[in-house]
Amino acid sequence: MARRYDPERRDRIIDAAIRVVGGRGIAGLSHRSVAAEADVPLGSTTYHFASLDELLIAALRRTNENFAAVLRESPALADPEADLAAELARLLGEFFAGGRGRAELEYELYLAAVRRPALRPVAAEWTDGVTALLRPRTDPATARALVALMDGICIQVLLTGGAYDEAYAREMLGRVAG
């Protein structure tokens, strides 16, 4: 039997893993559940990802890239005259406007690094990457503090079930940004 050429299979498996985590949580993630979701043979998931940690790393990288891309595409972040705090608060609002489920999924993957050491470097990549995007507008320590505050605001919204308060975020980000 000829081997089927499927260059997008790896990406489909990553997308399927994200959907599985979104629907069942990390506890519901297995090679078998991802293979079923991606409609690929079980061997394909283990061929591309030898361990669940490798699969989670790929899923976390994919979700991390979503918010980083939004930041990179923001003309206001590159504009030294624009209000940095207001733009970051607006971008967080866009993040939550994409649906609470998406935000919960991204933070579930991000916070999985607490218990899965293999994910820690990827979580750190996200923090470092977003910090680097903010450095042209502020000093490195303030950039890191802004990232930490944005994370804290997001986690509070997700844990309390409350609504995202853009005015509050803008005020607090402004205090940190100076």
> How much is the pTM?
0.85
> Which residues contact residue 103 at a Cβ distance below 8 angstroms, ignoring those fewer than 6 apart?
95, 96, 154, 157, 158
pLDDT in tens, 95-106: 888 778 888 888
- Across 23-28, average pLDDT: 91
Domain at 59-177: CATH code: 1.10.357.10
Residue 2's identity, in one-letter code, is A
pLDDT in tens, 99-156: 788 888 888 888 899 999 999 999 899 899 999 999 999 999 999 999 999 999 999 9
172-to-105, 109, 129, 153, 178 alpha-carbon distances in Å: 25, 26, 22, 10, 10
Q: Could you state, in order of their start, the residue ranges of all structural domains in the chain?
A: 1-50, 59-177
CATH class of 1-50: mainly alpha
